[in-house]
Structure 1
Amino acid sequence: MSDIGYSCQKGDRNMFEKLDSGKKTHNVIKQILEAIESGSLRENDKLPNEQTLAQTFGVSRSVIRESMSVLVNMGIVKRRPGQGTFVQNAGDASVPIASTKTVLWSYLEELGKVDGSIEAFFARLLIEPVIAEYAAYKLDNNDIKKLEGLYHEMEEAVRTKDVERYHEADLQFHLYLGKASKNSVLSGILKDIIESIGFEHWDSERIWREESKPLSKSLEGHREILDLMVKGEVERVREKVEEHLKLSFYEHMS
């Protein structure tokens, strides 16, 4: 385990660059991901503390805190109480760490292009699994029929390699999880979050690359979520939705 130290340097060069404009949270995350991808930050390396990072990037501590929260939630870094924040060990990570920038940064760039909210992006990772778990308690035959229909729409989109069609059906599937909760507040929260992300305006072909395997892997995840809901395995629904949302950022790497 190594400690990067107060200067945020490794070797003879600065690891991070001061920010002067733009989506600062996005750019803090980008630079940390680039440092991991390049090997400047390695598994188990300790990151500088919030104050040091804030001074290095020229941003407020709240920007650093938000950036770290996203990276922690994505399983890229890990907080150790009383010790600090460390690059996750690949053997302990719930998702792949290698080449994280390639996919996660594509998502963050899409957020930036449509003026999407990174706060909403993070909120979705926290809230949607809870809503899906609650929906599993309330699921009726009409809900199953609707979700099955959306799943078959995605299945056909995979067969025809129609990324736009898949993107729309995927979005509607997740929105319907909120509706299936039979709770207008929860449904409204999920709808507002997804609208704030600007997900419906994203470049589908950039995210769902036809030549790779993301569509079929994503489809498999939706099938697993739906099967667990139908079987009434409520606690596992929450776990599976959380896993699905996290893995969606890494599907292009396989």
Structure 2
Amino acid sequence: MTSQIIATHSVGATVQTVLDRLFAKIRSEEYSLNTRLPSERALASEMGVARNTVREALDVLEDCNVIKRRPGSGSFVTYRSEDAPQQGDSSVAMETSPLDHLVVRGILEPEMVRLAVINMNPREVWELEQLMSKIEGVHTDVAAFVKCEEEIYRKIAEGTRNSLLASCYNLAIEASRVSLRITLLRRHLTPKRILEYQQRYNALFNAIASRDVERAVEFIKLHLLEEQKLFFRDN
């Protein structure tokens, strides 16, 4: 699988615990690529939960492309550990809470956008425009939308001409990508919400393309504020 892990619906606390434990075993390669997972009955017994709880956790993992169910054969790991970050970065990413992630974004993104407006060359602006067109073509696929978001933010980070800032932001992206707890927060990405985000990103691109530093920075601050509101509303 890619290292993208997206769940499109919320789960209960017990299911989340099972998810965390199973995913930790998969990431550590206790259950490596193509390994058949224990049966639902065995997992339920091992974790002291009901079989339907395990089944719901497996449903989410399959939605996230972490495992693949084969009728009559069982559930097999499709997560490729080599796609994961190096151990040091992985440790930081896995320990980052959703709130910590928002705080870091609030620190990095305004300055990142400011530098990108100043430093992006015409070719990079054109490439960013192509990514904006790509994300506008996504309407319901949450995983595809988040992947497009990553590409947009990476392109903006590259445009800063500050490799350290870009590296820091890549780690922030990794934190949002590898943590099931964080990606489960993406459940608010309904088709309506996706459309709203597309409109925001289009406004951001227009500000970058017109070299309007003040408007671009103000936009990203407002966008972050809206994401913070969603986070606190859901928590």
* TM-score normalised by the chain length of structure 2: 0.52
Distance 1:217 1:250, change over 3 A: farther
Map 1:62-81; keep pairs closer than 5 Å. Answer: none
Residue 164 of structure 2: aligned partner: 185
In 1: Cα distance, 2:229 partner to 2:127 partner: 28
The answer to whether the Cα contact below 8 Å between 1:178 and 1:187 also exists between their aligned partners in 2 is: yes
- Distance apart, 1:155 and its partner CA: 0.6
Distance 1:251 1:156, change over 3 A: farther
- Distance apart, 1:220 and its partner CA: 0.6
Secondary structure of 1:157 counterpart? coil
How many pairs does the alignment contain?
Answer: 137
The answer to whether the Cα contact below 8 Å between 1:163 and 1:204 also exists between their aligned partners in 2 is: no
Residue 133 of structure 1: aligned partner: 114
- Distance apart, 1:138 and its partner CA: 0.5
- Distance apart, 1:196 and its partner CA: 2.8
**Residue from 211, 216, 223 that aligns with 1:244:** 223
The answer to whether the Cα contact below 8 Å between 1:214 and 1:251 also exists between their aligned partners in 2 is: no
Higher relative helix content: 2
In 2: Cα distance, 1:200 partner to 1:151 partner: 26
In 2: Cα distance, 1:124 partner to 1:221 partner: 17
The answer to whether the Cα contact below 8 Å between 2:116 and 2:159 also exists between their aligned partners in 1 is: yes
Q: Mind listing any 5+ residue stretches in structure 1 that lack a counterpart?
A: 1-113
Distance 1:203 1:145, change over 3 A: farther
The answer to whether the Cα contact below 8 Å between 2:116 and 2:160 also exists between their aligned partners in 1 is: yes
Structure 1 counterpart of 2:175, which letter? S
* TM-score normalised by the chain length of structure 1: 0.48
In 2: Cα distance, 1:217 partner to 1:232 partner: 23
Map 1:56-67; keep pairs closer than 5 Å. Answer: none
In 2: Cα distance, 1:136 partner to 1:251 partner: 27
- Distance apart, 1:119 and its partner CA: 2.8
Distance 1:150 1:133, change over 3 A: same
- Distance apart, 1:199 and its partner CA: 6.5
The answer to whether the Cα contact below 8 Å between 2:102 and 2:228 also exists between their aligned partners in 1 is: no
Among the aligned pairs, what percent are the same residue?
18
Structure 2 counterpart of 1:209, which letter? T
- Distance apart, 1:203 and its partner CA: 3.7
State the 4+ residue runs in structure 1 displaced beyond 4 angstroms. 249-253
Q: Mind listing any 5+ residue stretches in structure 2 that lack a counterpart?
A: 1-93
Flag the structure with more relative contact order, 1 or 2, with Cα contacts below 8 A and sequence separation at least 6: 2
> CA-to-partner distance for each residue in 1:148-175, whole Å, 9 max, x for gaps?
11111111102xx222111110121112
